[in-house]
C-alpha cells in the first residue's frame, strides 16, 4: 500500500506471517512481518518489523474505505503495537490530510529523538487513496486472518 503526497509518502507491505499456521495461540498465528517505507522532504527510511496483526490490516482497510466513501475523518486508528497509528486531520472532496505516527521499530532513520514519535503528514489525493486501498486489499487476500 502506497500513500503518496507532494512532499511525503508512506508505504506498507505485508511480507509474511511471523509464526506458523499451527501455532497454539491465535495472536501468534496472525502476527505479520511488514515493511514500512517512509519519505518526508528529502529524507527516506525503511524498516521491517512484526508489528501488525491480520485483523488490524482488516481494521485499516475498513478505516481507509470509510474515509474514501464518506470523506469524513474518523477517530485515530490505533494498533496493538503503539509504533504505528493513522489519523485523518482534514478531508475534503478531493484530498485528505493524513498523519501517520511512526515510532520505535518503524521510526524513520532521520528522526533523532527516540523518546517521541515522528508524525508523518501526507496530503493524499482521493484517487491515490483508492489505489492504496486496492493495493492493501490485494495483499490481505494473500495473508488473511488465520482461525
pLDDT of 89 over the 90 cut = yes
pLDDT of 92 over the 90 cut = no
Q: Is residue 147 part of a domain?
A: no
Tally of structural domains, the chain: 1
Q: Is residue 109 part of a domain?
A: yes
Q: Is residue 114 part of a domain?
A: yes
Q: CA torsion sign, 82 to 52 to 50 to 129?
A: negative
| CATH number (domain holding residue 106) | 2.30.31
Which residues touch 92 (CB under 8 Å, ≥6 apart)?
A: 71
Q: What angle do CA 97, 101, 102 make, to 5 degrees?
A: 130
Query: In terms of Cα–Cα distance, which of 92, 101, 99 is closest to 125?
Result: 92
Structural domain span for residue 31: 2-142
pLDDT for res 93: 83
pLDDT for res 15: 98
pTM: 0.96
pLDDT for res 1: 98
Rounded to the nearest integer, the mean pLDDT of the chain is 96
Query: In terms of Cα–Cα distance, which of 85, 108, 105, 86 is closest to 39?
Result: 108
pLDDT in tens, 40-88: 999 999 999 999 999 999 999 999 999 999 998 889 999 999 999 999 9
Amino acid at each position: 500500500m502506497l500513500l503518496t503526497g507532494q512532499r511525503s509518502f508512506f508505504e506498507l507491505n505485508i511480507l509474511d506471517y511471523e509464526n506458523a499456521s499451527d501455532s497454539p495461540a491465535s495472536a501468534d498465528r496472525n502476527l505479520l512481518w511488514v515493511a514500512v517505507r517512509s519519505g518526508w522532504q528529502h529524507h527516506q527510511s525503511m524498516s521491517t518489523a512484526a508489528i501488525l496483526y491480520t485483523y488490524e490490516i482488516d481494521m485499516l482497510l475498513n478505516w481507509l474505505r470509510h474515509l474514501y466513501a464518506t470523506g469524513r475523518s474518523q477517530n485515530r486508528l490505533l494498533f496493538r503495537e503503539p509504533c504505528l497509528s493513522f489519523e485523518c486531520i482534514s478531508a475534503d472532496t478531493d484530498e485528505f490530510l493524513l498523519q501517520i505516527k511512526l515510532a520505535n521499530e518503524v521510526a524513520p532513520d532521520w528522526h533523532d529523538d527516540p523518546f517521541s514519535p515522528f508524525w508523518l503528514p501526507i496530503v493524499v489525493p482521493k484517487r491515490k487513496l483508492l489505489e492504496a486501498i486496492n493495493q492493501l486489499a490485494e495483499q490481505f487476500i494473500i495473508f488473511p486472518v488465520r482461525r
